[in-house]
Amino acid sequence: MNEVIDFKKLIIDKFDGFERSLDGNSSAQLDSIKKDALAKFSSLKFPTIKDEEWRFTNISPLLKFNFNPVVGKKEFDTNEFGKLKLKDSFNNRLVFVDGIFSTKLSETGSLSKLMIAKNLKSAVKENNDMFHKYFNKYADYNEQIFASLNTAYCSDGAFIVIPENKIIEEPIFLLFISTSNEDQALLQPRNLFISGKNSEATIIEQYIGLADNVYFTNAVSEVVVGENARLNHIKIQEESGSAFHISKVEADQERNSNYESISISLGAEISRDEISATFKAEGSECTLNGLYLTNGSQLHDTHTMINHAKPFCNSHEHFKGILEGKSRGVFNGKVIVRPNAQKTNAFQENNNIILSNEALVNTKPQLEIFADDVKCSHGATIGQIDNESLFYLKSRGIGEENARTILIHAFAGDVVKTIKSEAIKNYLEEILDKRFNKES
């Protein structure tokens, strides 16, 4: 049993040590933001299941640990790095080891000529204009304790700027590795992605834990999608089984922009994705898709928010969950259509398959519509593998296990097929195979 600890106080007490560890890599502007965020963090309360937004996600197990925001730089076994397969499919990558950018493991050669792809720390160091213009403008931490925590202790992450009119065909791969070197590490990547006018790019994030130790990833990504720009954003979460993962993505969309997010959640004991998109001007489109696979005692929570602040915008959401063991899933999809946002189309769907007797899903669509000329729909299903479908496959000679595998693949396929990267698609198919093909 863990004794009761004052989680907040322990973290705040480490602030000075954390600041010192940055070794002067900061700026006056950033410092004042951090201090403000720290003050907010100390005044806010951690949510409990009495808070509507956290009703089904009990984070008290997380608050039992004395997490350390100061992560020392230790040697990382490059053999371990070699074993990570997915990265090999991408030529351009930024690698972060225990929250710290690794120049050695990163490859940005061909990209650096076309765009800015670097770590946040160096953007701060060089006093980058774009950084100061956009940083901390979207992920509001005033009422969100995890965002304030991330902001107060923000030290590194990815800083990506796609210049105007540039079409970057090769995906930019961001790899966040948690090693076994640190126990109870608090890793807080802070990302800023800016897509210039008429640009197009794909950003892929992978969060992966190498050993089964307890740590906490608390990530915040701010995303700006400029006028007529397209940004494809894929996130794959494969944290260690005992880890915690909370991630917040705030996307801000200019006129005629297109933001597509696909969030794949596989790891962590407790994980939560908060994904929000705001339409700042007319003619934009946003697609939020996701797939979560949980087993054992895992809990995964997806909270989305689409803010239809302007007319003539479309949003599509499709999240699917496959749950085993005693695991739990939570989906909450909020869509707000503001009074002037006429001609809005907003579609939302959440489907879950439960493969055991003890898994549980709580799903809730939340549509708040204040305009009258809109098309909005939502649907949620929680079910088991369809017996009719199973019988049909078996009646063709396909055995029970294979038939189930085929149906599970097909279920996940709705989301997997929306992924444009073949490498990611194959990677996920392999994961699905390993997980559900019990026969072979």
Partner 1 sequence: MLEIKNLHVNVEGKEILRGINLSVNAGEVHAIMGPNGSGKSTLAQTLAGKQEYEVTKGEVLFDGKRLLELSPEDRAREGVFLAFQYPVELPGVSNTNLLKTALNEIRKYRGLEAIDTMEFLSMIKSKMKLVELEQSLLSRAVNEGFSGGEKKRNEIFQMAVLEPKLAILDETDSGLDIDALRIVANGVNKLKTKDNATIVVTHYQRLLEYIVPDFVHVLYKGKIVKSGGKDLALELEEKGYDWIKEDTKEVQVQV
Q: Pick between residue 245 and residue 320 the one whose CB is nearest to partner 1.
A: 320
Q: Does 398 bind partner 1 (CB under 8 A)?
A: yes
Among 74, 296, 384, 391, which residue interacts with partner 1 (rule: CB under 8 A)? 391
Q: Pick between residue 370 and residue 391 the one whose CB is nearest to partner 1.
A: 391
Binding mask 348-387 for partner 1 (x = CB under 8 A): ---------------------------------------x
Q: Pick between residue 88 and residue 439 the one whose CB is nearest to partner 1.
A: 439
Dihedrals φ, ψ of 54, to 5°? -125, 20
Q: How far is the CB of 407 from partner 1 (least distance, A)?
A: 7
**Residues recorded for the chain:** 440
Q: Does 395 bind partner 1 (CB under 8 A)?
A: yes
Structural contact between residues 46 and 7, judged by C-beta atoms closer than 8 angstroms: yes
Q: How far is the CB of 432 from partner 1 (least distance, A)?
A: 12
Task: Tell how far CA 295 is from the center of its chain.
Answer: 19
Q: Pick between residue 79 and residue 387 the one whose CB is nearest to partner 1.
A: 387
Q: For the residues of 16-80, what is the DSSP string, one character each?
A: HHHHHHTTT---HHHHHHHHHHHHHHHHS----TTSGGGTT---TTGGGS--BS--------HHH
Q: How far is the CB of 325 from partner 1 (least distance, A)?
A: 24
Q: Pick between residue 19 and residue 414 the one whose CB is nearest to partner 1.
A: 414
Q: Which residue, chain included where needed, has tokens 């070794």?
A: 23
Which of the ranges 90-98, 156-164, 223-231, 390-398 carries the binding residues for partner 1, by CB under 8 A? 390-398
- Which residues sit opposite 328 in a β-bridge? 299, 360
Q: Does 389 bind partner 1 (CB under 8 A)?
A: yes
Residue in 101, 246, 104, 232 with CA at minimum distance from that of residue 176: 101
Q: Does 113 bind partner 1 (CB under 8 A)?
A: no
User: In 29-44, which positions are buried (b, 16+ CB within 10 angstroms) versus exposed (e)?
Assistant: ebeebbebbbebbeeb
Q: Pick between residue 234 and residue 432 the one whose CB is nearest to partner 1.
A: 432
Dihedrals φ, ψ of 369, to 5°? -115, 120
Token pair belonging to 293: 């696979």
Between the alpha carbon of residue 74 and those of residues 99, 100, 182, the distances in Å are 12, 10, 9
- Which residues sit opposite 232 in a β-bridge? 202, 260
Token pair belonging to 112: 């650096």
Which of the ranges 113-121, 122-130, 374-382, 401-409 carries the binding residues for partner 1, by CB under 8 A? 401-409
Q: Pick between residue 25 and residue 402 the one whose CB is nearest to partner 1.
A: 402
What gap in Å lies between CA 34 and CA 30, rounded to an integer?
6
Which of the ranges 306-314, 353-361, 366-374, 391-399 carries the binding residues for partner 1, by CB under 8 A? 391-399
Among 6, 164, 358, 400, which residue interacts with partner 1 (rule: CB under 8 A)? 400
Among 164, 399, 433, 434, which residue interacts with partner 1 (rule: CB under 8 A)? 399
Q: Does 430 bind partner 1 (CB under 8 A)?
A: no
Which of the ranges 78-86, 170-178, 396-404, 425-433 carries the binding residues for partner 1, by CB under 8 A? 396-404
Radius of gyration of the chain (CA): 21
Structural contact between residues 411 and 381, judged by C-beta atoms closer than 8 angstroms: no
As a whole number of angstroms, the longest Cα–Cα distance in the chain is 70
Residue in 119, 143, 112 with CA at minimum distance from that of residue 44: 143
* Positions 205 through 234 that interact with partner 1 (CB under 8 A): none
State the number of binding residues for partner 1 (CB under 8 A). 23
Among 4, 83, 397, 440, which residue interacts with partner 1 (rule: CB under 8 A)? 397
Among 4, 23, 396, 422, which residue interacts with partner 1 (rule: CB under 8 A)? 396
Q: Which residue, chain included where needed, has tokens 């906490």?
A: 216
Binding mask 405-424 for partner 1 (x = CB under 8 A): -xx-xxx-xx--x-------
Q: Pick between residue 208 and residue 412 the one whose CB is nearest to partner 1.
A: 412
For partner 1, the binding residues (CB under 8 A) are: 387-389, 391-400, 402-403, 406-407, 409-411, 413-414, 417
